[in-house]
Amino acid sequence: MGVTQSRGLHSGKRSGRGTSSLDEGTSDESTGGVESCLQRDNPRGAWAIGARKAWDDLAARQHGGAALSRATAKGLAEAGLSGADLAVVLEVSPQRVSQLLNA
């Protein structure tokens, strides 16, 4: 694993991905892991870690909710509900029902 330097955190990940791809002999800079280290014992570092975890948890719940919405729409459609009825039951627009059914 290599080490690289950058002027700031914003460019560090890009620089680190480039170093990682060179170390692994790949041309894709998105491969490999790059991690920013924050000090957990520093209150600001703990805040940043907590905020990132909260956003990650929210994204996972949103993904799960979207999958459940698709499955529900498809199941209710198979049971005979019309698109308009699905929109009422799911409290979404008819256009969103169409998106859910076609996903």
12 and 45 fall within a common domain: no
76 and 26 fall within a common domain: no
Q: Which of 4-8, 44-48, 77-81 reaches the highest mean pLDDT?
A: 77-81
Mean pLDDT of 62-66: 95
Name the pLDDT band for 47 (thresholds 50, 70, 90). Answer: confident
98 and 64 fall within a common domain: yes
Kindly report the three-state secondary structure assignment for every residue of 27-79.
CCCCCCCCCCCCCCCCHHHHHHHHHHHHHHHHHHHHHHHHHHHHHHHHHHHHC
8-12, 14-18, 66-70: lowest mean pLDDT where? Answer: 14-18
Q: Which domain holds residue 7?
A: 1-36
Name the pLDDT band for 31 (thresholds 50, 70, 90). Answer: very low
Q: How many domains does the chain have?
A: 2
- Confirm whether pTM is higher than 0.75: no
